[in-house]
Amino acid sequence: MLVLSQLYAKGRFLMKKLLDVQGVRKDFPILETGLVYLDSAATSLTPEPVLQKTLEYYRKYRANVGRGVHSLSQRATEEYERVRVKVADFINARSESEIVMLRNATEGINLLARGLKWSKGDKIVTSILEHNSNFIVWLREKIRNNLTMEVIKPKKPAVQGRLDLTDFEKAINDQTKLVTITHVSNVLGVILPVREIAEMAHDHGAYVLVDGAQSVPHMKVDVQRIGCDFLVFSGHKMCAPTGTGVLYMREELMEEVEPLCIGGGTVVDVGPDYYKLRKGPGRFEAGTPAIGETIGLGAAVDYLSAIGIKNIEEHEKKLIQKTYDELTAISGVEVYGPEPKQRASIVSFNVDNLKCHDVALALDVSANIFVRSGYHCAQPITEKIIRKSGTIRASTYLYNTQEDIDKLASTIMQIACKG
Which pLDDT score, from 0 to 100, does residue 419 have? 63
pLDDT at 14 over 80: no
- For 78-95, letters b (16+ CB in 10 Å) and e give ebbeebbebbbebbebee
The CB density around residue 247, as the number of other CB atoms within 10 Å, is: 25
Is omega for the bond preceding 47 within 30 degrees of 0, making it cis?
no
Strand partners for 263: none
pLDDT at 11 over 70: no
Average pLDDT over residues 333-358: 96
How far is 217 from 210, CA to CA, in rounded Å? 14
Q: Are 145 and 120 in contact (CB under 8 A)?
A: yes
Which domains can be identified in the chain, with CATH numbers? 33-46+308-418 (3.90.1150.10), 71-305 (3.40.640.10)
The CB density around residue 12, as the number of other CB atoms within 10 Å, is: 11
Q: What is the largest CA-CA distance in the chain?
A: 73
Which pLDDT score, from 0 to 100, does residue 279 have? 94
Mean pLDDT (the chain, rounded): 94
Question: pLDDT tens digit string along 205-219?
Answer: 999 999 999 999 999
pLDDT at 329 over 60: yes
Question: pLDDT tens digit string along 151-203?
Answer: 999 999 989 999 999 999 999 999 999 999 999 999 999 999 999 999 999 99
- Residue 388 DSSP symbol: T
Q: Chain centroid to CA 46: how far?
A: 15
How far is 27 from 34, CA to CA, in rounded Å? 14
How far is 226 from 134, CA to CA, in rounded Å? 19
Which one-letter amino acid corresponds to residue 151? V
Residue 262 falls in which region: left (phi positive, over 0), alpha (psi -120 to 50) or beta? beta
Q: Are 102 and 133 in contact (CB under 8 A)?
A: no
Residue 239 is a catalytic residue? no
Q: Which of 228, 239, 377, 417 is catalytic?
A: 377
Q: Which helix (H) or strand (E) holds 96?
A: none
What do you get for the CA distance between the two ends of the chain, in Å? Answer: 45
Which pLDDT score, from 0 to 100, does residue 17 have? 63
Which pLDDT score, from 0 to 100, does residue 388 have? 84
Q: How confident is the model at residue 6 (pLDDT cuts 50, 70, 90)?
A: low
Q: Chain centroid to CA 6: how far?
A: 27
Question: pLDDT tens digit string along 211-262?
Answer: 999 999 999 999 999 999 999 999 999 999 999 999 999 999 999 999 999 9
pTM attached to this predicted model:
0.94
Q: How confident is the model at residue 73 (pLDDT cuts 50, 70, 90)?
A: very high
Edge-first strand order for the sheet with 391-395 is 333-336, 346-351, 391-395, 372-374
